[in-house]
């Protein structure tokens, strides 16, 4: 019997992952979160707790855990202010990793983002997992993911007995699960920089959940893996398929928006630094296909048309 613990069970993605895992034979699934999920999860042992490290450690000492999937990321499925999120995503990851190490958990799966590579004009057409993380000044949720990966790298170097797998997911859409990218794509209008139309990637919520579940079930794979649906789309195509509309603006409008209210209203809150409206950041997914035996079931167009519907 393998016991998997999934954090953030009050979120829809964690619920999907737990549900996939619970269908596997000889698998016990424990879901932890600050609240119970909206829908009951068959064969999942749901525990509501404060998500503090010492609380998780106490749980894992009572119920030995073989693998943890840490999916408790604030700001993904529903918008939260940076003041509310603070550095909570990073601190929670530190506490989860510390509790796992103290409890002797041998494997941890972490969620991250493809955007940690950064958007630059010299990026290859498809970025492999060996590429360095963005060295610029990422903002918001992207900054959390970059710091989480740095924390994980440092933790892994100090605790070589623990296997860490990081899934760098494209923006999730479909499956009635929200994400910052999905909310941007359906805007009317969605701002773009005039003269630029970078390629982007998305992944359907169910395909992302299966990828995470496969990483939980695979005790040989570690390190980062890119998860995205192929082929990439132009940003304008993605907005069109998602039912949004495009508003081309001069580059100056984005830099002036914080000081000029009419422009601020047009630009709105971007889910990524403005460079992602200029340059592509597209991940090479071959490692996930090869090592996890992961295959997407939803094309990018199908996924985005589900948003439009």
Question: pLDDT digits over 112-165, tens only?
Answer: 999 999 999 998 999 999 999 987 666 788 999 999 999 999 999 999 999 999
pLDDT over 80 (residue 82): no
Three-state secondary structure string covering 96-161: HHHHHHHHCCCEEEEEEEHHHHCCCCCCCCCECCCCCCCCCCCCHHHHHHHHHHHHHHHHHHHCCC
The reply to whether 125 falls in a domain is: yes
Output the CA torsion sign for 10, 11, 14, 19. Answer: positive
Is residue 255 domain-resident? Answer: no
75 domain residue, yes or no: yes
Instruction: Report, as an integer, the average pLDDT of 285-304.
Output: 97
Task: For residue 260, tell me if it sits in a domain.
Answer: no
| 286 — pLDDT class (breaks 50, 70, 90) | very high
Mean pLDDT of all residues in the chain? 93
Sign, Cα dihedral of 269, 248, 261, 116 = positive
pLDDT in tens, 53-81: 999 999 999 999 999 999 999 999 987 76
Q: What is the pLDDT of residue 233?
A: 97
Q: How confident is the model at residue 226 (pLDDT cuts 50, 70, 90)?
A: very high
CB 36 within 8 A of CB 53: no
What's the whole-number mean pLDDT along residues 235-242? 97
DSSP letter, residue 283: B
Pick from 109, 153, 116: which is nearest to 20 by CA? 109
Tell me what pLDDT residue 147 has: 94
pLDDT bucket at 261, cuts 50 / 70 / 90:
confident
Q: pLDDT confidence of 265, banded at 50, 70, 90? A: confident
Instruction: Please report the pLDDT score of residue 253 as a whole number.
Output: 92
Total number of domains in the chain: 1
pLDDT band (50, 70, 90) for residue 215: very high
Measured N-to-C along each axis, helices 12-22 and 205-217 cross at an angle, to the nearest 10 degrees, of 50
On whether the CB atoms of residues 204 and 271 are closer than 8 A, the answer is no
The pLDDT-based confidence of 14 (bands split at 50, 70, 90) is very high
Q: Is the pLDDT of residue 270 over 60?
A: yes
Q: Helices (DSSP H) in 23-122: which residue ranges?
A: 53-62, 82-85, 88-103
For residue 222, being part of any structural domain is answered with yes
How many CA atoms does the CB half-sphere of 182 hold within 13 Å? 28
In a domain, 261, yes or no: no
Q: Is pLDDT at 107 greater than 80 in this prediction?
A: yes
Q: What pLDDT, on a 0 to 100 scale, did the predictor assign at position 87?
A: 67
Taking CA atoms, 11 is separated from 33, 175, 240, 270, 282, in Å, by: 8, 13, 28, 22, 26
Predicted confidence (pLDDT) at residue 95 exceeds the cutoff of 80 = yes
Q: Is residue 169 in some structural domain?
A: yes
Judge whether residue 46 has pLDDT over 70.
yes
CATH of the domain at 290: 3.40.50.720
Per-residue confidence (pLDDT) for residue 175, from 0 to 100: 87
The reply to whether the predicted model has a pTM over 0.85 is yes
Range of the domain at 33: 2-179+202-228+283-294
At residue 84, does pLDDT exceed 60?
Answer: no
Q: Is residue 257 part of a domain?
A: no
Judge whether residue 83 has pLDDT over 80: no
Q: What percent of the chain has pLDDT over 90?
A: 81
């Amino acid at each position: 019997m393998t016991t998997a613990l999934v954090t953030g069970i009050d979120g829809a993605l964690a619920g999907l992952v737990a549900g996939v895992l619970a269908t596997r034979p000889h698998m016990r699934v424990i879901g932890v979160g600050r609240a119970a999920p909206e829908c009951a999860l068959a064969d999942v042992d749901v525990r509501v707790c404060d998500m503090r490290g010492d609380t998780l450690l106490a749980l894992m000492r009572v119920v030995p855990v073989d693998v943890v999937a840490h999916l408790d990321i604030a700001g993904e499925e529903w918008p939260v202010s940076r003041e509310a999120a603070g550095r909570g995503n990073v601190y929670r990851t530190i506490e989860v990793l510390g509790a796992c190490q103290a409890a002797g958990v041998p494997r941890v799966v972490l969620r991250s983002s493809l955007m940690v590579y950064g958007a630059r004009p010299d990026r290859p057409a498809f970025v492999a997992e060996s590429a360095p993380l963005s060295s610029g000044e990422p903002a918001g949720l992207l900054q959390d993911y970059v710091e989480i990966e740095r924390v994980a790298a440092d933790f892994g170097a100090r605790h070589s007995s623990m296997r860490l797998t990081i899934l760098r997911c494209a923006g999730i859409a479909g499956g009635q699960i929200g994400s910052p990218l999905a909310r941007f794509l359906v805007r009317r209008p969605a701002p773009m920089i005039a003269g630029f139309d970078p390629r982007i990637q998305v992944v359907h919520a169910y395909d992302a959940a299966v990828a995470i579940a496969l990483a939980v079930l695979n005790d040989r794979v570690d390190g980062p893996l890119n998860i995205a649906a192929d082929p990439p789309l132009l940003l304008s195509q993605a907005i069109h398929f998602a039912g949004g509309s495009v508003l081309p603006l001069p580059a100056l409008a984005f830099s002036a928006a914080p000081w000029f209210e009419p422009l601020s209203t047009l630009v709105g809150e971007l889910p990524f630094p403005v460079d992602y409206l200029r340059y592509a950041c597209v991940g090479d997914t071959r490692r996930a296909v090869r090592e996890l035996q992961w295959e997407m079931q939803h094309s990018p167009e199908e996924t985005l048309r589900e948003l439009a519907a």
